[in-house]
Amino acid sequence: MKQITLLCFFIPVLFLAQQACNSRKQTSSQAPDSMATTQADSQSAGITTSAEHVANLGLTPDSHWRGVNLGDDLANVKALEKGEAFESDQKHIGYTIEFKNLESADVLYYHQNGKVSAIEADLFLNNRASVDAYQRELNSYFTSRYGTPKPGSGGNVWSGPKGESITLTDVSKGKDFGLKIRIAPGSSSTAASAK
């Protein structure tokens, strides 16, 4: 009788111990899989995010900026830009591009005689990592379009096929992070007079 009681006691204990071991093995074998999935997801998200920087700005390979080229009619700018102009006068018209992560860009289209004479974009970014990511992507984008840049004006300067100048500058100061892009005919000094 004593043996039956011990047997009745140990069988459930052994069964529970076996179940505990099996569930521990399953949990530890699932953890690396879920970690690998998370790492793969974050890596693919990183790739998407990088590609998104140029897409967020609306840059295309067939225009200087968001479908607009230097020399285009000002009416073309107004037709292409979706939002309301935040600023407009005799020399320029400005639009804001909002990004989903509370970052933004202000784009000023300078014009003379109803034609776009220069384009300036100020990117307002959240942190150093965002500046570095945008700068890396924009450097790559402009280099693929215009060739190797030259250092100048505190950043990189590319020359376009019609002599236009494309400048990318990090304008971050303290806790204010950002980039400035200038697209103007000829050299930077010409860009200032084109405005």
The tens digit of pLDDT for each residue in 22-78 reads: 544 444 444 444 333 333 333 333 333 456 777 778 888 888 888 898 999 888 888
On whether both 32 and 96 belong to a single domain, the answer is no
Domain boundaries, position 175: 58-194
On whether both 94 and 156 belong to a single domain, the answer is yes
On whether both 132 and 172 belong to a single domain, the answer is yes
On whether both 1 and 67 belong to a single domain, the answer is no
On whether both 18 and 104 belong to a single domain, the answer is no
On whether both 190 and 109 belong to a single domain, the answer is yes
On whether both 127 and 32 belong to a single domain, the answer is no
Q: Which amino acid is present at 114? A: G
Tokens read off for 63: 């225009």
On whether both 75 and 163 belong to a single domain, the answer is yes
Residue 130 within any structural domain of the chain: yes
Whole-model pTM over 0.75? no
Question: What is the enclosing helix (H) or strand (E) of 86?
Answer: none
Compute CA distances 149 → 59, 64, 117, 146, 179, whole Å: 18, 16, 22, 8, 16
Task: Return the pLDDT at 3.
Answer: 58
